[in-house]
Amino acid sequence: MSARRFSQRAWDQRFQAAVARAFATVPYYREMWAEAGAPLEEPVVTPVARLDAVLDRLYPLARPYERQREEPGWTGEPGELMEALKLTGDYRGEPLFEVRRALLDWERIGRARYHVVLGADAEVADPELRAAGVRAFHAAREPALLGDPAQIAALPAHPGRARVFLRRSLTDLGTRDSRHGEVVHDPRLGYLGGRYRTCGHVHLNWRRVHARQSPSGPLLTLLRRRRPTLAGISVPGTAHLGVQHCPEHGTPILREVAS
C-alpha cells in the first residue's frame, strides 16, 4: 500500500470542496443555511438513520432523484467495493461472490466477475435463485467470497479454495478474525475501507471517503458520490472510534480510542 499521494491538507480541501458543492447544489444542505439564518461552514450532522427520510432531497437540483427510474440510492458503485477489497491487501482480482439479501445487476468489479449469492435471509420468492447462486459459487475455481460473518457461516463451504472476506459494520471493528480479510461497510454509506493484512488497522478509502473527528465519532463525507450527496454523516455507536493515521502506512485509519 502506498501513502505517496496522501496529504492531510489535500484531503481536507477535497472535503471542503465537497461541502461547498453540497451547499450550492443539493436541497437538503441548502436548507441548512436557511434554517441557520446564515451560511454555515460545515453541514449540520446527519445521523445515518435519517438518510432514508431525506433521500429525495440529497440529489443535485439540476438532476433530481427519479424514483421510478433509479435504483435505491444506497447501492454505490463497483469501484467502491473493489477498492475496499484491495485495502485488505488480500484481494488478487478473483471472481467475487457477494452474499446479499437482494440481487444486484453488477457484472464486474474492475476486471473481475461479480456475482450475488442470495443469503438465507434474502427476501426472494424463488428459492431456486439462491440455490443457483450457491452452485455457481461452488463451481468457480478459487473464487473470493464476501459476506457478513453469519451469512458466511450459513453457506455450504466451497469444495476447493475460496478466499473469504468478512463485511464488518463500523460498530463492529473491535472484533477481528485474522483468518479472513475484512472490509468495512455501512448499508447507506457503502464500502468505506478495509483492514490491511500487515498492520491490522482499518484503513479508510481516503480517495472516496473523508472522516473528521467529532465527540459522537467520525463524521463521514463521500467525496465522489453525488447521487445521493452525503456529507457530515454520523453513525450511532461509533463514539469510541478515532480518525488517526496508520503508523506504518501514514494514511487515515479508524481505530478504537480509550474514552
Residues in the site for Zn ion, rule: CB under 5 A? 196, 199, 201, 246, 248-249
Task: Give whichever of 112 and 253 is closer to Zn ion, judged by the CB atom.
Answer: 253
- Helix, strand or coil, per DSSP, at residue 150: helix
> At its nearest, how many Å lie between Zn ion and the CB of residue 259?
23
The grid coordinates of residue 210 equal 473523508
Task: Give whichever of 122 and 241 is closer to Zn ion, judged by the CB atom.
Answer: 241
Q: What is the DSSP letter of 226?
A: B
Bridge partners of 116? 98
The grid coordinates of residue 136 equal 455457481
Distance CA 91, CA 259 (A): 34
Residue 74 CB neighbours (<10 A):
15
Task: Give whichever of 163 and 203 is closer to Zn ion, judged by the CB atom.
Answer: 203
> At its nearest, how many Å lie between Zn ion and the CB of residue 196?
5
Closest CA to 88 of 202, 208, 195: 195
Task: Give whichever of 23 and 165 is closer to Zn ion, judged by the CB atom.
Answer: 165
> At its nearest, how many Å lie between Zn ion and the CB of residue 213?
18
> At its nearest, how many Å lie between Zn ion and the CB of residue 251?
7
Distance CA 187, CA 53 (A): 15
Task: Give whichever of 130 and 195 is closer to Zn ion, judged by the CB atom.
Answer: 195
> At its nearest, how many Å lie between Zn ion and the CB of residue 236?
26
Distance CA 190, CA 41 (A): 25
Task: Give whichever of 188 and 201 is closer to Zn ion, judged by the CB atom.
Answer: 201
Residue 106 CB neighbours (<10 A):
16
> At its nearest, how many Å lie between Zn ion and the CB of residue 181?
14
Distance CA 254, CA 242 (A): 6
